Amino acid sequence: MINRDEIIKRINKIDDKIFVSRLLDKALKSKNSRCVTHSDFLDPYQANIIRKSIGDNSEVNCTFYGGYPGAEREIAVFCPQGMAVSDFHYFEYPIKILQIKTKSRDSLTHRDFLGSLLGLGIKREKIGDILLEEDICSVMVMSDIAEFLSFNLLKVGRSSVEVDLADIGEVQAQGPKFKEISATVASLRLDCIASVGYGISRSKITEYIQSDRVSLNWEKTTSLTKQVKEGDTISIRGKGRLILEKVGTVTKKGRLSITLQKYV
């Protein structure tokens, strides 16, 4: 049984309680009405909360998808146990891909595209990942606002644009690029791993952590000594994110071999 009170009681922050409560309504609707329900786009912190609080429930399946493998922003999809989303042949997948082509050679950034979309009155949770390629920008958007955007997005920055819509699967969206970093560290403390991964001095990393700019698995932390495990994600506001992919053997000097993936 999905025990709403028990789930909410385990969550500390008021805003997180409200957020989980809203998605619990969708999970319960899926269970009770035997239908598929879904959220809007969640950031990684929100998705992590749902995985912990609802994702392992025995009465409803919860899956996440952002339009392509490895997406950062994803929707949560709920369906009753014993059924899969694919069993509902009438279920229209709720993500479309907005393909934006610029008519000029202006160098446009992720911020330019996001700002133009939000400038049309669109809420951030209706927009997923924004993937910049050489001659086109692919934006994951919720289906219910896709047509509106295709007609009303005329400019990005000062550049006129052409917009097309595509269904999921019609476009091979490329995920974020990353580089692999092999290194050795004295310990798996957060400040040690972050210093190696970002190529920044320990003193500077300490400053970032203490000024609330560092997150571990999408939760802000001010603890320098927090231990990082395989699969954990570290992010620093304004400097991207990295993943501790593997912890290897101990070297002759007593240091740990690690492999990191840094998103670029």
Of 182, 199, 176, 177, nearest to 244 (Cα)? 182
Which comes out higher in pLDDT, residue 115 or 92? 115
For residue 80, list its beta bridge partners: 60
**How many domains does the chain fold into?**
3
Question: Which domain CATH number covers 245?
Answer: 3.10.290.10
pLDDT greater than 70 at residue 89: no
Which CATH number does the domain housing residue 78 bear?
Answer: 3.30.1370.160
What DSSP string runs through 174-236? ----EEEEEEEES--BHHHHHHHHHT--HHHHHHHHHTT-EEETTEE---TT-B--TT-EEEE
Nearest by Cα to 59 from 22, 24, 89? 24
Residue 19 lies in a domain: yes
Residues 224-244 pLDDT 10s: 889 999 989 999 987 888 999
pLDDT digits (tens, 9 = 90+) for 102-161: 877 678 888 899 999 999 999 999 999 998 887 789 999 999 999 999 999 999 988 899
Q: Is the pLDDT of residue 82 over 90?
A: no
**253 and 190 fall within a common domain:** yes
By residue range, what is the domain housing residue 256?
A: 178-263
Is residue 135 a part of any domain in this protein? yes
Whether 127 is in a domain gets the answer yes
Q: What is the pLDDT of residue 178?
A: 82
Residue 173 inside a domain? The answer is: no
DSSP letter at 172 equals -
Per the DSSP assignment, residues forming a β-bridge with 147 are none
Residue 177 predicted with pLDDT over 90: no
In this structure, is residue 172 part of a structural domain?
no
User: Given 33, 57, 87, which residue is the final one in a domain?
Assistant: 87
Region 252-258: mean pLDDT is 93
> Does 250 or 82 have the greater pLDDT score?
250
Q: How far apart are CA 170 and CA 97, in angstroms?
A: 9
Q: How far apart are CA 14 and CA 126, in angstroms?
A: 23
Q: 229, 143 in Cβ contact below 8 A? A: no
Residues 202 and 131 in one domain: no
| End residue of a domain, out of 87, 113, 142 | 87
Q: For the chain, what's the residue count?
A: 264
The CATH number covering residue 150 comes to 3.30.70.330
Domain boundary among 167, 202, 221: 167
Please report the pLDDT score of residue 172 as a whole number: 61
